[in-house]
Amino acid sequence: MRVLAALSGGVDSAVAAARAVDAGHDVVGVHMALSRERAEYRTGSRGCCSIEDAGDARRAADVLGIPYYVWDLSERFEDTVVADFLAEYAAGRTPNPCVRCNEHIKFAALLDRAAALGFDAVCTGHYARIETVVGADGAVTRELHRARDAAKDQSYVLAVMGTDRLARSMFPLGDAPSKDAVRAEARERGLGVSAKPDSYDICFVADGDTQGFLRERLGARAGDVVDADGTVVGRHDGAYAFTVGQRRGLHLDRPGPDGRPRYVVEVRPSTNTVVVGAAELLTVTRVAGDRAVWFVPPSPQRLACEAQVRAHGAPVPARVRALGPAHDAVEVELATGLRGVAAGQSLVLYDGTRVLAQATVTGAER
């Protein structure tokens, strides 16, 4: 197969590309330039897609002996991922930019370009597994599963891609036993990125100050922090900078009546108000979502599953049913309460290791 290997400049994508070469595929490496300020030079583990990363990706391609290109997707990234990030926070929701990057960039723009150029598949360094199942009628189904290494599993952020894109994707690291094993393999292959630290935080917020980034882009807008009964207990510079479940950085003027810590339980963008309350107000037992992506036939009947609302959060037993004529909305009942569910989060439903569906949280009930 002709395979386009996405080379981020990190160890995972380099080893994934190497495995694709070993498998006998005709591999071409490409680095996605996502930053509009290409002169910015970021070192260490914070951020990604810098000039440093592009250089590391090129050197990895040289070691593997494969062609290498840089594709400028910065405008697409700004207009989709960054714009969505800002719009969601401005609306009082909590987005996951990695999910949107996978949706709009890595498994939309990249796949579309790859297909137009005649490539059969895109290979990435994500930790997830694709299992091919052949039914009794001969029909072939490709399933998305958790990675062998649960600590590195990225099926949560990949669930937004859907079955059509899954059919044109390769995740060679899905069966890797650990990140240490991947680093050891990189050393054995002579890849200079073997000891490169993992990236973390939001890639387009280079200094890690998310509130500062939001304030710069959206502007300061002072408002009230109120208790559940409406009593003003503090002030803020913008409700968009807060998310449900947040405890730190509230700057409250007075302690809670019972002396216990208080958390953000609601963000009201229409009035620019942040509501705080006791921890028990964060627990919900019902979650609604829209923009559903299904890996199994959707059904209005309740289906047993496990629900997860954070990339590395613990899944909880649940039951889901599809809503609407297009089955693009879901209602999930949780067998046990789940804390800190915020509108805008990605809701992923599993059956064991298999991904069943993904949706964007629109609301939750206590």
Contacts of 259 (CB under 8 A, 6+ apart): none
Residue 187, H or E segment: helix 179-188
Side-chain-side CA neighbours of residue 169 (13 Å)? 30
One-letter amino acid for residue 126 of the chain = H
Contacts of 254 (CB under 8 A, 6+ apart): 233, 234
Look up 49 and say whether it is catalytic. Answer: no
Which residues, listed in sequence order, are joined to residue 329 by a DSSP beta bridge? 290, 323
Picking from 314, 304, 235, the residue whose alpha carbon sits closest to that of residue 276 is 235
In three-state secondary structure terms, 240 is: helix
Torsion sign over Cα 118, 122, 123, 128: negative
Q: What angle do CA 220, 225, 229 make, to 5 degrees?
A: 155
Token pair belonging to 105: 């960039």
Cα dist from 100 to 77, 161, 248, 308, whole Å: 10, 10, 26, 17
φ/ψ (deg, to 5) at 41? -115, 105
Which of the following is catalytic: 98, 123, 203, 305? 203
Token pair belonging to 224: 């009230």
Cα dist from 171 to 168, 185, 305, 307, 315, whole Å: 10, 16, 24, 23, 23
Cα dist from 158 to 25, 165, 182, whole Å: 23, 10, 20
Residue 107, H or E segment: none
Look up 101 and say whether it is catalytic. Answer: yes
**CA–CA separation, 184 vs 178, rounded Å?**
10
Which of the following is catalytic: 48, 49, 98, 101? 101
**CA–CA separation, 305 vs 283, rounded Å?**
19
In three-state secondary structure terms, 268 is: strand
One-letter amino acid for residue 74 of the chain = S
**Catalytic machinery residues:** 101, 203
